[in-house]
């Protein structure tokens, strides 16, 4: 093993020891996550400065950091399906009437889709303001290869229709969907769990003894799963550190500078949409500063991990124990938000790409005849986008193919894809949390005592004050 690699690993172990020490000293969860992110950035910069982004030492170091970073993400993915099932079934058993379920679903999905439409409009505006255009851009070998790959996947994207998307959400084999075999498996499990809950409530009056037994079983399962969530979430600062160090160390500054306009336009659009989310929070009478403080750890994890689906357990825990959102609503919002109405991946990104690529085929992207169909296609296409890496590419393929634009040009952005995807994922998760928080508040189910509490609830100690 090279000496440089050994030194890098010793530095990473020292950081992990520091984070573990902070936990034993009862430093607040948010501060530990922030520390993990900050130290990860610094260590990544040091690695890149010493060895270069594409060096073997950085690559090998990244492989070891993967054990912590990607390992943490996989643990979160492990508990997604059990968490969704027991939480939604448990929430339905506690609902007073079926109308509540309909209101929750309609409000949550409505907010997700509406904000995605707004995100698309913001993406169009920023692409226009920064004068983005793919005309004249040259492609490297990697970008050409990426373009060819996107071209090869085009038939699959063209074959997708809105009725097909809706049908893909319905579980034909729920046990298959529990393995995550399909892009829409998460929503399919949600629907299956809803059927279980509704079926159980249907026998409550006729077979009370059986219902009581099932309800008790659900309570036991829910307690065990939530304990499992707590154990995994204790590793968040370590996962955030490893993921951030790896991304920063392997990112090429030259590639970022070559496409600085797209990076700047993307993050300008993301920032505007974050402000839209905060405006919705303020509109329902909640404190924006307090809200920001409480959701920061989730957004930090989403930013570093680049997985909306992987953030579901942490999102649910944050909404219920820190924001006071009703458990059923929190699970609906987190689950639906990982697949439907992703503001970053399915809203801003495809809109900016379409505006950027349209001039290459002689189309003025700022005409009404182009913009209205684009907004409609993005809104409809935002249903069923997978909440894992690659979801934004899938959404872009749907939009570009529907608008008859050359999809291969999207490969030009391969060099800065990880950097952009970090912000997009954080916005996706922010959108789902916003939908849950606003829905819970509008339905009068928010526990304001929890939200207004100034004592910071530590996720790793099951809500105990720091």
Largest CA distance in the chain: 72
Which of 244-258, 337-351, 431-445 is the most confident on average?
431-445
- Domain span including residue 440: 3-465
Q: Which of 428, 426, 447, 427 minimizes the C-alpha distance to 437?
A: 447
Q: How many CB atoms lie under 10 A from the CB of residue 170?
A: 11
Q: CB 366: neighbour CB atoms within 10 A?
A: 12
Burial 142-167 (b: 16+ CB within 10 A, else e): ebeebbeebeeebeebeebeeeebee
Confidence of residue 417 (pLDDT cuts 50, 70, 90): confident
Beta-carbon contacts of 56 under 8 Å, excluding residues fewer than 6 positions away, are none
CATH code: domain of residue 336? 1.10.3860.10
Q: What's the whole-number mean pLDDT along residues 66-70?
A: 90
Rounded CA Rg of the chain:
22
Nearest alpha-carbon partner for 91 in 444, 318, 327:
327
Over the chain, what is the mean pLDDT?
Answer: 83
pLDDT at 387 (0 to 100): 46
* Residue 412 reports pLDDT greater than 90: no
Distances (CA, A) of 155 to 158, 159, 437: 5, 6, 38
> How many distinct structural domains can be found in the chain?
1
pLDDT at 459 over 60: no
Q: What is the pLDDT, as a whole number, of residue 142? A: 46
Sign of the CA dihedral running 306, 36, 119, 415: negative
pLDDT (tens digit per residue) in 272-319: 999 999 999 999 999 999 999 999 999 988 898 888 888 888 898 899
**Percent of the chain scoring above 90 in pLDDT:** 34
């Amino acid at each position: 093993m090279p000496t440089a690699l050994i030194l890098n690993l010793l530095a990473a172990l020292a950081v992990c020891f520091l984070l573990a020490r902070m936990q034993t000293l009862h430093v607040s969860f948010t501060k530990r996550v922030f520390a993990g992110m900050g130290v990860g950035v610094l260590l990544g910069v040091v690695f890149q400065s010493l060895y270069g982004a594409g060096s073997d030492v950085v690559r090998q170091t990244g492989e070891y950091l993967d054990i912590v970073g990607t390992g943490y993400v996989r643990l979160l993915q492990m508990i997604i399906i059990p968490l969704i099932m027991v939480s939604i079934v448990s929430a339905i058993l506690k609902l007073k009437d079926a109308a509540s379920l309909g209101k929750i679903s309609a409000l949550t999905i409505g907010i997700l889709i509406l904000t995605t439409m707004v995100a698309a409009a913001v993406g169009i505006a920023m692409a226009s303001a920064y004068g983005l255009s793919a005309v004249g851009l040259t492609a490297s070998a990697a970008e050409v290869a990426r373009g060819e790959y996107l071209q090869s996947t085009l038939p699959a994207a063209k074959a997708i229709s809105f009725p097909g998307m809706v049908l893909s959400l319905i579980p034909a084999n729920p046990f298959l969907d529990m393995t995550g075999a399909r892009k829409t498996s998460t929503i399919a499990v949600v629907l299956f769990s809803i059927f279980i809950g509704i079926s159980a409530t249907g026998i409550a009056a006729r077979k009370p003894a059986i219902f009581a037994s099932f309800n008790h079983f659900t309570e036991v399962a829910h307690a065990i799963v939530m304990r499992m969530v707590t154990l995994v979430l204790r590793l968040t600062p370590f996962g955030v550190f490893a993921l951030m160090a790896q991304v920063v160390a392997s990112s090429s500054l030259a590639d970022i500078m070559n496409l600085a306009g797209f990076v700047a336009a993307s993050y300008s659009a993301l920032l505007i949409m974050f402000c839209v989310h905060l405006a919705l929070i303020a509109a329902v009478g909640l404190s924006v500063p307090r809200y920001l403080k409480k959701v920061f750890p989730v957004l930090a994890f989403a930013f570093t991990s680049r997985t909306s689906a992987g953030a579901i357990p942490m999102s649910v825990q944050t909404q219920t124990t820190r924001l006071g959102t009703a458990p059923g609503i929190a699970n609906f919002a987190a689950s639906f938000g990982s697949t439907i109405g992703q503001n970053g991946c399915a809203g801003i990104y495809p809109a900016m790409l379409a505006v950027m690529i349209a001039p290459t085929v002689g189309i003025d992207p700022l005409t009404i005849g182009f913009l209205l169909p684009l907004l409609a296609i993005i809104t409809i296409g935002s249903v069923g986008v997978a909440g894992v890496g690659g979801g934004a590419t899938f959404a872009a393929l749907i939009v570009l193919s529907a608008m008859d634009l050359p999809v291969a040009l999207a490969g030009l952005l391969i060099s800065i894809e990880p950097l952009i995807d970090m912000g997009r994922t954080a916005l996706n998760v922010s959108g789902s949390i916003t939908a849950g928080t606003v829905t819970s508040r509008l339905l009068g189910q928010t526990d304001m005592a929890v939200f207004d509490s100034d004592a910071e609830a530590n996720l790793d100690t099951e809500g105990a004050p720091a």
